[in-house]
C-alpha cells in the first residue's frame, strides 16, 4: 500500500479521467452540450446531469480513499451532496457500488435510457489507476491519516468545464477563461489545527496530444507538515513588478488599489483553484479576493501546495485588521476545520472576508499595504 499522498494523486487521476470522459464520449458530451441549447423539457434533467459529473467524481474519491484508509471514513468532505433526483423525480443517493454492474444500474436510474453513458462511466469508476511517478513514489510526508481530514472540489470552475472553450488566448501565460481552468482539487488538513497538509491539483485539460488530439492532463502536489516541505514543483522566481490575478467579479475599489502596484496591469482568470494555480506556477505573484465567494474545498489543496513552496493563503479581512491594530506576527492563514458561525449550508464553509494567496512574503506585504487604504475592506 502506498501512502496517503500517493492515494490522493491516484484519485485525482481517476477524477480527471471521468471529467475528460464526460466531454469526450458522444452520449455524455451530447448531454453537456445540450444544456446550453436544449429544449425546455430537457432542462431539469440536463441540469442534473451537469451536477452528476461533479457528484460522481466526489463519490469516487470518497469511496476509493475511504476503502484504502478506513481511518479517514467520516472525515472526507466535499462540495457536493450525493442526493440526486432520479428520472422519475424521486431521490437517489449516487455512490460507488460493490460491482460495476450495480454501479451501471444505479447510474441508469439517473441517466434514464443512456445505457452506453452509464457503462462508460461505471468502467472508469471501477478502473484501477496505476501511477508511474518515481518522484511521487519516493515522497514520504510522515503524516498519519488518523490526524487528517479531506476537502474535495470534484470540478472547480464548472462553468468553464461546461462551456468548454479551447481557444481563449492566454495573457502572460494566464488563461482568462476556458476549459483549462477546470481543475480537480483534493486537499488534506490537520483535524485539530485545521492547517492544510497535503494538496493535489489535477489539470484534466492541460493540453491536447498533437497526434491523437486527445486531452492530456497533469498534476501537482505539495506537503507542508511540521518542518517538512515537499513539492512536485520548485518555487518560481518573483516578478520585479508584481503580477496580481483577480476574479472578473472583483470591484473597482480593489482594482484601483492594486493597479498601481502592478504597473497598471492586472490579470483576470476564471476559477478560484486556477487563480491559485497561477500563483503556484509563478504566472502570478498573488491572487486577491475581497469577498467570501470561495469555500474550504476551493482553497485547501492549493493552500497546502503554496505552503510547501514557502507561501500561503491569508484571510484578508483578518490580515487587514491585524495590520490596522498594529499586531505583530504573521497574518492569519485560512483554516479548514472551523465552520462559520451562524451560517447554514455551503456558507458554513465560506472563506469569509476574502483571501490573498501568495508565494513570496514581500508580495503579501505589498498587497496588504495597497489594500489597507480601501474603504470598507
Ligand atoms: C467556483 C469557481 C468560480 C469562482 C468561485 C468558486 O467554484 O471556481 O469560478 O469564481 O469563487 O467558488 P471566480 O471565477 O469569479 O473566481 P465551482 O465552479 O466549483 O462552483
Ligand atoms: Ca469550486
Ligand atoms: Ca465544484
- The 10s digit of each residue's pLDDT in 310-350 is 999 999 999 999 999 999 899 999 999 999 999 998 899 99
Q: What is the position in ligand 1's atom list of the atom closest to the CA of 275?
A: 16
CA of 51 to the centre of ligand 3 (A): 9
| Percent of the chain whose pLDDT exceeds 70 | 93
Distance, CA 156 to ligand 2 centroid (Å)? 4
Query: What's the length of the chain?
Result: 377
Ligand 1 site, residue 333, Cβ cutoff 6 A: no
* C-alpha grid cell, residue 251: 470591484
pLDDT, residue 51, reads 65
Q: Which mutation among 268, 294, 346 tests ligand 1's pocket best, with the greatest number of atoms within 8 A of CB? A: 294
Mean pLDDT of 164-168: 93
Kindly write down the DSSP assignment for every residue of 81-111, as one continuous string. Answer: --EEE-TTS-EEE----SSHHHHHHHHHHHH
What is the tens place of the pLDDT at every residue in 247-259?
Answer: 999 999 999 999 9
Ligand 1 site, residue 293, Cβ cutoff 6 A: yes
Q: Which pLDDT value is given to residue 80?
A: 82
Ligand 1 centre to CA of 182 (Å) is 10
Give me the percent of the chain exceeding a pLDDT of 90. 79
Report the pLDDT value the prediction gives residue 114, as an integer from 0 to 100. 83
Cα separation, 67 vs 70, whole angstroms: 6
Active site residues: 54, 79, 153, 155-156, 158, 298
Q: For residue 41, is pLDDT > 50? A: no
- Check whether 34 has a pLDDT greater than 60: no
Other Cβ atoms within 10 Å of 6 Cβ, number: 18
Query: What is the reported pLDDT for 32?
Result: 59
Ligand 2 centroid to 212 CA: how many Å?
30
Q: Spell out a b/e string for 39-73, using b for 16 or more CB atoms within 10 Å of the CB, else e.
A: eeeeeebbebbbbbbbbbbbbbbbbbbbebbeebe
Is the pLDDT at 38 greater than 50? The verdict is: no
Is the CB–ligand 1 distance for residue 298 below 6 Å? yes
Supply the pLDDT for residue 82. 85
Categorize the per-residue pLDDT at 43 as very low, low, confident or very high, splitting at 50, 70 and 90.
very low
Q: Please tell me the predicted confidence (pLDDT) of residue 358.
A: 98
Q: Give the pLDDT confidence of 181-237 residue by residue, as tens digits.
A: 999 999 999 999 999 999 999 999 999 999 999 999 999 999 999 999 999 999 999
Q: Which H or E run includes 189?
A: strand 183-190
> Would you list which residues are annotated within the binding site for Mg(2+)?
79, 153, 155-156, 298
Closest of 87, 86, 21 to residue 57, by C-alpha: 21
Q: Which atom of ligand 1 is nearest to the CA of 161?
A: 18
Instruction: Report every protein residue that has its C-beta within 5 angstroms of ion ligand 2.
Output: 153, 156, 298
Residue 109 has pLDDT above 50, yes or no: yes
Confidence of residue 92 (pLDDT cuts 50, 70, 90): confident
Q: Is the CB of 181 under 6 A from ligand 1?
A: no
**Rounded distance between C-alpha atoms, residue 123 and residue 107, angstroms:** 12
Atom of ligand 1 nearest to the CA of 248: 15
Residues 69/7, Cβ–Cβ less than 8 Å = yes
Integer Cα distance of 88 and 108 in angstroms = 11
Q: What is the mean pLDDT of the chain?
A: 92
Amino acid at each position: 500500500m502506498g501512502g496517503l499522498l500517493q492515494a490522493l494523486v491516484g484519485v485525482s487521476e481517476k477524477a480527471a479521467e471521468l471529467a475528460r470522459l464526460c466531454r469526450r464520449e458522444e452520449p455524455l458530451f451530447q448531454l453537456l452540450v445540450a444544456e446550453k441549447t436544449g429544449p425546455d423539457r430537457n432542462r431539469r434533467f440536463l441540469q442534473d446531469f451537469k451536477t452528476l459529473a461533479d457528484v460522481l467524481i466526489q463519490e469516487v474519491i470518497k469511496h476509493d480513499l475511504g476503502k484504502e484508509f478506513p481511518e479517514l471514513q467520516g472525515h472526507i468532505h466535499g462540495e457536493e451532496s450525493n442526493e440526486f433526483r432520479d428520472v422519475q423525480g424521486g431521490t437517489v443517493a449516487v455512490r460507488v457500488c460493490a460491482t460495476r454492474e450495480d454501479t451501471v444500474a444505479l447510474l441508469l436510474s439517473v441517466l434514464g435510457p443512456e445505457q452506453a453513458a452509464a457503462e462508460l462511466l461505471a468502467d472508469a469508476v471501477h478502473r484501477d489507476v496505476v501511477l508511474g511517478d518515481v518522484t511521487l513514489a519516493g515522497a514520504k510526508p510522515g503524516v498519519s491519516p488518523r490526524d487528517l481530514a479531506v476537502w474535495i472540489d470534484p470540478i472547480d470552475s464548472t462553468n468553464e468545464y461546461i462551456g468548454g472553450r479551447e481557444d481563449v488566448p492566454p495573457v502572460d501565460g494566464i488563461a482568462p477563461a476556458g476549459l483549462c481552468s477546470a481543475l480537480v482539487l483534493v486537499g488534506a488538513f490537520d483535524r485539530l489545527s485545521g492547517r492544510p497538509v497535503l494538496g493535489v491539483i489535477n489539470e484534466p485539460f492541460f493540453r491536447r496530444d498533437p497526434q491523437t488530439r486527445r486531452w492530456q492532463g497533469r498534476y501537482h502536489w505539495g506537503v507542508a507538515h511540521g518542518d517538512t516541505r515537499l513539492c512536485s514543483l520548485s518555487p518560481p522566481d518573483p516578478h520585479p513588478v508584481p503580477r496580481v490575478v483577480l476574479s472578473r467579479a472583483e470591484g473597482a475599489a480593489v482594482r484601483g488599489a492594486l493597479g498601481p502596484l502592478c504597473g497598471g496591469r492586472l490579470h483576470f482568470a476564471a476559477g478560484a483553484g486556477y487563480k491559485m494555480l497561477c500563483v503556484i506556477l509563478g504566472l502570478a505573484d498573488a491572487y486577491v479576493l475581497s469577498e467570501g465567494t470561495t469555500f474550504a474545498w476551493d482553497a485547501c489543496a492549493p493552500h497546502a501546495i503554496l505552503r510547501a513552496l514557502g507561501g500561503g493563503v491569508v484571510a484578508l479581512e483578518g490580515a487587514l485588521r491585524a495590520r490596522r491594530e498594529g499586531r505583530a506576527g504573521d497574518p492569519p492563514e485560512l483554516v479548514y476545520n472551523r465552520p462559520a458561525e451562524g451560517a447554514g449550508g455551503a456558507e458554513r464553509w465560506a472563506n469569509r472576508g476574502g483571501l490573498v494567496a501568495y508565494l513570496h512574503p514581500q508580495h503579501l506585504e505589498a498587497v496588504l499595504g495597497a489594500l489597507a487604504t480601501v474603504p470598507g475592506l
